Amino acid sequence: PPGNGVRYNRVEFRTGSCMNNLHVKYLLVGGGLASSSAADAIRQLDRDGSVLLVAQEVTRPYHRPPLSKEYLRRQKSRAELFTHEPGWFENHHVELRTGRRVAHLDIPRMAAVLDDGQAISFDRMLLATGSTPAALQIPGSRLPNLFYLRTLDDCELLHHAVDKARREGRQHESGRGKVAIIGGGVLGVELAASLSQMGLSIDLLLSHAHPWNKFAGEATGRFISLYLQKRGVRVRPLSPPRRLEGDGRVQRVELPDGTTVECDFSIAAVGAVPNRDLLHGTPIAAGRAILTDEHCRTSVRGIYAAGDCAAIFDPLFGKHRVLDHWDNAAVTGRLAGRNMAGADEPYSTVNNFFSDVFELTLNGWGDSRHIDRRLLRGAPNVDAPDFVEIGVAADGRIVQVLSVGHQGEDDVLRDLVGKRVRVDGNEEALKDPKSGLRTLVG
């Protein structure tokens, strides 16, 4: 609303007659990588427009991948997690409001109301509210000592649980502390590896026949099971927990066959749910996540979405996609910020995801949902892993590539997906590690 101009750190904020109201040019809702990437991108194109970033957590934006790896293992400091140096937001005139939550959106007035009652009107808004761990829905799932991992606070709770288990927990052949990890996706496998490296005894409980079931084929899934087991992780396929039990806290997990897994604590890593509660009562279109076009624009003019809460339209596959990985938060956050500041750039990235498990690195590009068959380039040897899995759609075009322990060909592997290369009669060349891939890409 119009009012008297008030200078804030050389950036123009306008307030109305009510001192509790504030107007900003750019309102960024969410305190993760997508929002901080958007702030960075906005400042590259608009040095003076007022920017307010509202973060529900009390810390400034940070990177989440180390929470299940280096930070959990205490190999990386808290200071190394943050997306920007301590003075970046102040030096770039971005107001950072931590420990606050947007409680309500008033779309007709282009305004948001914070949980402390302050109303903030905006010219453009980014919804980057992230996701929440999917809750385990079985008897006993409300008992203490069942953990989830999403935030820095979650990781600190895990640190305390690990320390206590190593000090007072159940004995095993190399020390104390037993953990039951529920879920065999990227997060569950990373947690199994990290906690094993920290000296704990790990049972990895899977609903499916092998880990990475969401995106990897049977051969790669069998490989990662053997790889984990060789390093001491007990992988239990087709063993979704039936109930959690214990004397006031989780101490046992009952499996479908009636056997139990003893533990000092358990971690559920069974998926994530995009945060879209703010959309209730608004005309912003959504399915499982907030729908955006290839420019990160929602169905309401001036409102954008990025990161885990958004399903961006991907021209490469011709559909909306929820891409809940670090790379997507950085890419879509940056794209949304640039377009909010006046650019007109479409999403043109081949999505990438990655994982580190013990000494193994996984890199993936593309979409597994349209895979008709898979080709293996190289052999999945647990003693010297170095292979590539290539997913081919029914029309003969490559839709996904997984690189497992393989180095040096990221660009060409990405291009196999980005150019939707047709396999045609090249199956044998694709499977032969000695054949060059660049000639197939063109």
Closest CA relative to residue 152, chosen from 69, 71, 75: 71
The rounded distance, in Å, linking the Cα atoms of 387 and 432 is 10
pLDDT at 5 over 90: no
Q: Is the pTM of this model over 0.85?
A: yes
Per-residue pLDDT, 424: 86
pLDDT at residue 10 tops 70: no
What are the structure tokens assigned to 365, written together? 């590009």
Mean pLDDT of the chain: 94
- Do 433 and 377 form a contact (C-beta atoms < 8 A)? yes
Distance between CA atoms of 338 and 44, rounded to whole angstroms? 8
Q: What is the pLDDT of residues 233-288, one digit of tens each?
A: 999 999 999 999 999 999 999 999 999 999 999 999 999 999 999 999 999 999 99
Q: At what angle do helices 218-230 and 186-197 cross, to 10 degrees?
A: 20
* C-beta neighbour count of 247 within 10 angstroms: 8
| Beta pairing, strands 119-127 & 21-29 | parallel
Report yes or no: 302 and 342 within 8 Å, Cβ to Cβ. no
Q: How many beta carbons lie within 10 A of that of residue 327, not counting itself? A: 17
Could you tell me which residues are beta bridge partners of residue 375? Answer: 390
Residue 6: what pLDDT?
Answer: 34
Whether 360 and 424 have beta carbons less than 8 Å apart is answered as no
Question: 425 pLDDT exceeds 90?
Answer: no
The reported pLDDT for the residue numbered 20 is 61
Q: Largest Cα–Cα distance in the chain? A: 72
Q: Write the pLDDT tens digit of every residue in 174-206.
A: 999 999 999 999 999 999 999 999 999 999 999
Q: Which residues pair with 12 in a beta bridge?
A: 7
Identify the weakest region by mean pLDDT among 94-108, 276-290, 427-441.
427-441
Pairing state between β 303-305 and 290-292: unpaired
Over residues 316-322, the mean pLDDT reads: 96
pLDDT interval class at 383 (50, 70, 90): very high
Please list, residue by residue across 47-86, b when 16 or more beta carbons sit within 10 angstroms of its beta carbon and e when fewer do. Answer: eebbbbbbbbbeebbbbbbbbbbbbbeeeeeeeebebbee
Percent of the chain with pLDDT over 70: 95
Long-range contacts of 170-176 (CB under 8 A, 24+ apart): 170/201, 170/262, 170/263, 170/264, 172/201, 173/201, 174/199, 174/201, 175/199, 175/200
| Measured distance CA(242)–CA(94) in Å, rounded | 48
At residue 362, the pLDDT reads 97
Of the given ranges (9-23, 68-82, 102-116), which has the lowest mean pLDDT?
Answer: 9-23
Are 204 and 184 within 8 A, CB to CB? yes
**Average pLDDT value for residue range 25-36:** 98
Judged against a pLDDT cut of 70, whether residue 7 lies above it is answered with no
Mean pLDDT across 25-39 = 98
Q: Which residues contact 193 (CB under 8 A, 6 or more apart)?
A: 228, 231, 233, 356, 357, 358
Q: How far apart are CA 98 and CA 89, in angstroms?
A: 12
Asked if 145 and 249 touch (Cβ cutoff 8 Å), the reply is yes
Q: What is the pLDDT of residue 354?
A: 96
Q: How far is CA 390 from CA 157, 209, 283, 403, 412, in A?
A: 39, 20, 40, 9, 12
CB count in 10 Å sphere of residue 137: 8
pLDDT of 98: 97
Could you give the CA distance from residue 229 to residue 269 in angstroms, rounded to a whole number? 19
126-174 confidence digits (pLDDT tens): 999 999 999 999 999 999 999 999 999 999 999 999 999 999 999 999 9
Q: Nearest to residue 325, comparing CAs of 308, 301, 300?
A: 308
